[in-house]
A and B are shown apart, each in its own frame.
Chain A
């Protein structure tokens, strides 16, 4: 059981002052194994904060990020490759402002194929999405602060926690709606496809 936090588009301090207090109290250090951040933090303080939650932090560049050295995209592998079972999940991260049209699932699927990953985590639209297609899953954790978006009206703060266990991933989405944290979960199972050049 590996816990991966997918979070992004906080836009601190340009569009939001801070993470919602209810989210802050839920995110405690030591519980999460990896953090995937889609980008647009935007300042070092937020980076440092995430580091305190979990040292294994993967960030890709959003167009407002202060640190321009973050990569455009990134991949990481969760789990061990075992003979007999393909117990590995490949995750890809990309902010999404580079993928046009913005938020278009087919275009995002192309990126997924390009990065050769099972799960693509992307942001930019500030709208939570968890979408399965033939090539895998596309997850958008939304904006953790509910920041203003030209793309989405009425943004609710949200983030995603993925529980990866063998071939199965449970996606928990946490949304702050009218002051209350609501949780939803979606199950995905990785089909053991023919082994390709992994």
Chain B
């Protein structure tokens, strides 16, 4: 191979040398106005172009040298004062050159001047030249020759308004000429494919692509001809060009030329000739990348549509979308071996087109999706990941365009396309949908839309057949489920009836999620229902009778069922929290037995399911805190529950936790409200009990570790004494407080080997508080006065 390149360089150098050599003598002849000599040396020079040893690139270099020289020759020819021969005679004279290639180059050169002289109609000279060039059938040589012809004739075509237009010469003649040159060039170009041995096919294709612009140039010229209006393009130019494109049956040429047509001619023309242009597509060779061609066409048309609003009616008038849609259908049908990814890419392009041009035509969008569904149905199982990617692109496009999931939800074929995705991609798409909703802050407000949405994301909501749950990455799974949980809050309607429907639909779908999913989704659902309840409460006064179907009780029943499902997980801690939330909500609705029932459930969970000591501490505090706020209970119920709460508080594992829980219980007997319970005695009982526990803790610590225990507990209890003292609990006396302070001081001093700076500071700030209250004056000051420090 290296040898080949080296040889080529050598030949090129030789060729250039030959040209230069003859050019030198040609110049001498020109300077001395010697026509005969000029013709001789120019012919010799042009003979260098007869070589068949050079690749197109190298030949081009040689050609350009000759071209430059020919320009100088043309100047000479033009000035007949220099050589004294008329152009007509000159035209005849050059035909005596020995070899055909030099002869034709010279003929074209003279022909150019001939046309300029107007001594003969342009069309006749052009016709003569274009036919004479037939004499050269070697592809590379012929292509460059005709390229030269095209070049020099460019400005001499009988276009409208050109000086060459006349009675005999019309723009039709110009068009004919260019078309013929184009046709011949294409034939030569295609012929290259069949030259030489098969194994150098790749090299040949590369060489061919180097020459493609020579052929394409003709189309360019056609587009520049003024006289080629829509009418002429439609009736003459396009049909003839397409005829050549289809008949040449060469995939390289077909691909290049189709694309060239699309790029070179104006978009308005394409719109008006859409059927013809598209009609060629199924007739192309199966190996032609027709989808790229069509994509580029649709791209151009989309840009055209969005360039100005006036253009849009045209699109509608020519029924652009349906023509494109049909064409794509025909192409897919015709090219049986086209892989799935090809077909789907076409649909993506078509969808992009309609989203840009006719965004309001949702029926178009649905149609494209429907066509895709049909295609996917014919494939037993789609495993190509590239094809999958394209399907995701197809489904994402409407989401991005409309920024509003609700629009996508109206597309009947959308879920059907999703059904054809494999499990992994389906879930990916479901996440894309959810993210779109979150990003746009969309709200889905009707039950039927929610139903459609949850059908779409069913891959996330439940285990689908064939899914291997163990394979799921934990992080990914969490992310998925948290997304679903967040999604639930985007479903909302002002109307309680509709909102209840929505909640029921969500419940229906999420309840089959299985124990792994429930902990994520149940909370969102519960709070959604609690919000509805509050909405209902707010509207209480306004509704008259019609809302009989919707009562708080109904919602509480629903809540119970939802929370009960957590027992399958099991998730007792979460369930307990949710039951307490419901109890508070029942309190707000003033329904005592429901509130009591929720407390019962919470206690049952505490008793039977929550064994972890840390979890118990939090749980009991939540129970106490909630109970403290309940005002719906009658004496009996309240007593039962507080008794249970204090009992469990005292039975926590660690003494310190017991102590704290018990003094927290003291608040169960004192509610600052007007009607709140204010049982001073039981408060004191709790505090004393807490003290006993703290003492026991102290003693245990002494025995076990030889040093003091948590003095802080005593200070905490002291603070509670002060709290209730201030609130007016007569059972708590200032002497009791004083006594407690002394006791604490003693404890702290006796444990001087292990000073507890935190407890010290706490005591100090507590005493500061007492001082501060004393100095307040008035009722408060009087009260605190009795505490001697």
> Which of A12, A15, A63, A197 sits near B618, CB closer than 8 Å?
A63
B779 to chain A, nearest CB (A): 16
Q: Scoring B residues 508 to 529 as 1 if CB is less than 8 Å from chain A, else 0, what string do you get? A: 0000000000001001100100
Query: Interface size class for chain A?
Result: 35 or more
Judge if A70 is at the interface, Cβ distance under 8 Å: no
Closest chain A residue, CB of each to CB of B627: A100
Closest chain B residue, CB of each to CB of A15: B527
B714 to chain A, nearest CB (A): 12
Report if A63-B622 is in contact (Cβ < 8 Å); known contacts: A135-B768, A148-B531: yes
Which residues of A1-27 are within 8 A (CB) of B?
A: 11-18, 21
Judge if A134 is at the interface, Cβ distance under 8 Å: yes
* Chain A contact surface mostly: loop
- Are A18 and B530 in contact, with the CB atoms below 8 A? no
Judge if A85 is at the interface, Cβ distance under 8 Å: no
Residues of A near B720 (CB, < 8 A) are: 110
- Are A150 and B760 in contact, with the CB atoms below 8 A? no
**CA separation between A62 and B585, bound complex, in Å?**
20
- Are B485 and A14 in contact, with the CB atoms below 8 A? yes
- Are B621 and A14 in contact, with the CB atoms below 8 A? no
A99 to chain B, nearest CB (A): 9
Most buried by B among A12, A110, A134, A151: A110
> Which of B671, B723, B760, B772 sits near A197, CB closer than 8 Å?
B760
Judge if A97 is at the interface, Cβ distance under 8 Å: yes
- Are B523 and A14 in contact, with the CB atoms below 8 A? yes
- Are A197 and B761 in contact, with the CB atoms below 8 A? yes
For the complex, count residues of B whose C-beta is within 8 A of A. Answer: 55
- Are B667 and A100 in contact, with the CB atoms below 8 A? yes
- Are B765 and A18 in contact, with the CB atoms below 8 A? no
Closest chain B residue, CB of each to CB of A134: B772
Judge if B441 is at the interface, Cβ distance under 8 Å: yes
> Which of A15, A17, A114 sits near B438, CB closer than 8 Å?
A17
Interface segment out of the listed A52-60, A101-109, A156-164, A170-178 = A101-109
- Are B486 and A102 in contact, with the CB atoms below 8 A? no
**CA separation between A114 and B715, bound complex, in Å?**
9
**CA separation between A152 and B357, bound complex, in Å?**
51
Residues of A near B719 (CB, < 8 A) are: 110, 113-114
- Are A100 and B624 in contact, with the CB atoms below 8 A? yes
- Are B762 and A114 in contact, with the CB atoms below 8 A? yes
B778 to chain A, nearest CB (A): 15
Judge if B584 is at the interface, Cβ distance under 8 Å: yes
Residues of A near B490 (CB, < 8 A) are: 17
Counting from the closest, the 4 A-B pairs by CB-CB distance are A150-B584, A14-B523, A13-B485, A17-B486
Q: Which residues of B contact A (CB under 8 A)?
A: 438, 441, 478-479, 482-483, 485-487, 489-490, 520, 523-524, 527, 530-531, 534, 577, 581, 584-585, 588, 614, 618, 621-622, 624-626, 628-629, 664, 667, 671-672, 712, 715-716, 719-720, 723, 726, 757-758, 760-762, 764-766, 768-769, 772-773
Q: Which residues of A contact B (CB under 8 A)?
A: 11-18, 21, 43, 45, 63-64, 68, 97-98, 100-102, 104, 106-107, 109-110, 113-114, 116, 134-135, 148, 150-151, 153, 196-197
23 A-B residue pairs with Cβ-Cβ distance under 8 Å, sorted by A, are A13-B482, A13-B489, A13-B524, A14-B524, A14-B527, A18-B438, A45-B479, A64-B523, A64-B577, A97-B618, A97-B621, A98-B618, A98-B621, A100-B625, A100-B628, A102-B625, A102-B629, A106-B726, A109-B769, A113-B719, A135-B768, A148-B531, A197-B761
